[in-house]
Amino acid sequence: MGIAERQAISRPLWNHGLPVVDDNGILIKGGMWSHQQEWWALPNFIKALVTGYGGGKTFIGAKRAIATALTIAPVPYACVSPTFKLARRTTVRTLKALLTGKEVLLGRDNFSWTYHQTNHEFTILYRGRVATIWIMSGEDPDGLRGPNLGAAWIDEPFIQKDEVLDQMLARIRDPRAGKYKELLLTGTPEQLNWGYDICAGDRQEDYDVGLVQAHTRENKILGDEYSERLESAFDDQTARAYVGGEFVNLQKGRVYHAFTEDNVRDLPDPGGLLNLGLDFNVNPMAGVIFWTHGDHIHIMDEIELPNADTEYMMSHVRDEYKVTLDGVEYSRVEDVYPDASGNSRSTKAPGGKSDFYYIRQAGCHVFAKGANPLIRDRENAVNGLLNHGRLTISPKCKKLKSYLLKYNHESKHKPDQKAMSHLIDATGYPVHYLFPVNRPATVLATVGH
């Protein structure tokens, strides 16, 4: 296919100019931001776009996937997400939004598409061409074997296995795609894995890779307040990766690297009601007693009970933190922020009842989501508060202090480190519930061409 033929397909579909925004930051006309244009124009076989959250990676990846799939039709195109669940929230959602916009703009008689949910397959009809985009999961790299592809897109490569790269490189081989064979990589630098190695590390020279990196604020639609809000939630090191789009090693060394002696403070007990963060391990069962003021959390006590269950923990807390009013004893601990798994029936709780049951039997309120957050999100939330001085710990919490100083990525699954994790988790559950780092699943603010 010649240049003219390719342009005949791509020009009616996409406006390649910069977006036009009014004085209030409202999108008037779509297009690409400068970092997206730079990435789009890369001549390399592997085109990598690495940005902070909300940097427009998924949006531009989906845009390129559609344009390329139409160009190489009927040769199939593949989009690989870390899981099908994540794909539904990101790549599938973004592809649908872009395709719907084009269908409205051009009319269904000229442009139409369908998505087969069971087969995870998009079919696009335009100017006599029938393009196919397969949605695939990198969870099982062996499941990527088989098909001949013309091009592919790996979304969030920094949380996928290196076998995903190997499979895609082996699959992009259909001769009908000609010079339009390519592999896209778009993601936030979550880990310094194979994605980093081939983009900026010691394997870079082994591949034909072009790399563009950008800060979250490069997506002007979001406004500076969005990136500033993220930066205020993360610690400085994590913000460099998740907002700045920099390659930063977040998977080696201390997990809670933001913790320092400045976070250890002897603050007076303000009186009144208290809260409990709770982990349901049996030996030890762990908890932290804390109070909040505005956006500040202070851990005033730590609890580790050997060979304990939830009923015993709640009895211990009630006895340790009780007040007597008009001759009646009350527990000062009213709100509990536990491991979300405690809502199911558990052998850790007596009588086969759930852990949450015994918390409520003790007269406390349970605050937990339907499932626990991702471990890295909980760790980021804790580091963010520590970094900004919004999480402090009483000097009497000697174990928690020691654990925060010793707990590291390389050894977190070893027995001695595992034993530390329970008190740390009891701290992380309330921190993430009350002050979560809200990572966007995808940003569609620039859709609307």
Tell me, what's the pLDDT at 329? 83
pLDDT in tens, 249-295: 777 788 998 998 899 999 999 888 999 999 998 888 999 999 999 99
Quick: pLDDT tens for 146-157: 789 999 999 999
Non-local CB neighbours of 408 within 8 Å, separated by 6+ positions: 252, 253, 254, 255, 417
Is it the case that residue 406 has pLDDT exceeding 70? yes
Task: Yes or no: say if 138 and 164 are a contact pair by the CB < 8 Å rule.
Answer: yes
Whole-number pLDDT of residue 5: 38
User: Is the pLDDT at 170 greater than 50, yes or no?
Assistant: yes
- Asked if 288 contacts 426 with a C-beta cutoff of 8 angstroms, the reply is yes
Q: Look at residue 164 and tell me whether its pLDDT is greater than 90.
A: yes
**Residue 343 burial by Cβ neighbours in a 10 Å radius (0-12, 13-18, 19+):** middle
The arithmetic mean of pLDDT across residues 57-75, rounded, is 94
Beta bridge partners of 291: 298
- pLDDT at residue 12 tops 50: no
pLDDT value of position 418: 87
The predicted structure's pLDDT at residue 18: 44
Asked if the domains 3-242 and 261-434 are classified in one and the same CATH topology, the answer is no
Task: Report the Cα 267 to chain-centroid distance in Å.
Answer: 34
At residue 180, the pLDDT reads 95
For residue 421, the Cα-to-chain-centroid distance in whole angstroms is: 21
CB distance 305 to 312 below 8 Å: yes
| CATH class (in words) of the domain with range 3-242 | alpha beta
Contact 207, 182 (CB under 8 A): no
CB 383 within 8 A of CB 254: no
What is the average pLDDT score of the chain? 86
Tokens of 335: 């709100």
Determine the Cα angle at 184 with ends 183 and 188, to 5°.
145
Residue 98: pLDDT band with limits 50, 70, 90: very high
Question: Would you state the structure tokens that stand for residue 262, as one six-digit string?
Answer: 């400045």
Task: Please tell me the predicted confidence (pLDDT) of residue 373.
Answer: 86
pLDDT for res 30: 55
Asked whether 336 and 361 are in contact (CB, 8 A), the reply is no
Band of pLDDT at residue 425, cut at 50, 70 and 90: very high
Q: 302: which 2 tokens?
A: 């730590």
- Looking at the predicted structure, is the pLDDT value of residue 54 above 60? yes
CA 110 to mean position of chain CA atoms: 37
The mean per-residue pLDDT over the stretch 429-444 comes to 75
Give me 319's structure tokens: 């006895």
What pLDDT does residue 91 have? 95
77-81 sheet: strands from edge to edge:
111-116, 121-126, 129-137, 77-81, 151-155, 183-187, 46-51, 209-214
pLDDT band at 211; cut points 50, 70, 90: very high
Amino acid code (one letter) for 443: V
CATH architecture entry for 261-434 = 2-Layer Sandwich (3.30)
Question: Residue 343 above 90 pLDDT?
Answer: no
Q: Mean pLDDT highest for which of 209-218, 347-356, 410-419?
A: 209-218
Domain residue spans in the chain? 3-242, 261-434
- Is there a contact between 19 and 32 (Cβ–Cβ < 8 Å)? yes
Please name the amino acid found at residue 229: R
Residues 280-334 have pLDDT tens digits of: 988 889 999 999 999 999 999 999 999 999 999 999 999 999 887 777 888 999 9
Q: Give the whole-angstrom CA distance, residue 264 versus residue 277.
A: 18
**443: pLDDT strictly greater than 50:** no
pLDDT at 352 (0 to 100): 65
Q: Spell out the long-range contacts of 21-27 with Cβ–Cβ below 8 A and sequence spacing 24 or more.
A: 21/220, 21/221, 25/220, 25/221, 25/223, 27/221, 27/445, 27/446, 27/448
Q: How confident is the model at residue 210 (pLDDT cuts 50, 70, 90)?
A: very high
SS (H, E, C) the chain: CCHHHHHHHHHHHCCCCCCEECCCCCEEECCCCHHHHHHHCCCCCEEEEEECCCCCHHHHHHHHHHHHHHHHCCCCEEEEECCHHHHHHCHHHHHHHHHHHHHHHHCCCCEEEEEECCCCEEEEEECCEEEEEEEEECCCHHHHCCCCECEEEEECHHHCCHHHHHHHHHHECCHHHHHHCCEEEEECCCCCCHHHHHHCCCCHHHCCEEEEEECHHHCHHHCHHHHHHHHHHCCHHHHHHHCCCCCCCCCCCECCCCCCHHHECCCCCCCCCEEEEEECCCCCEEEEEEEEECCEEEEEEEEEECCCCHHHHHHHHHHHCEEEECCEEEECEEEEEECHHHHCECCCCHHHCEHHHHHHHCCCEECCCCCCCCHHHHHHHHHHHHHCCCEEECCCCHHHHHHHHHCECCCCCCHHHHHHHHHHHHHHHHHHHHCCCCCCCCCCCCCCC
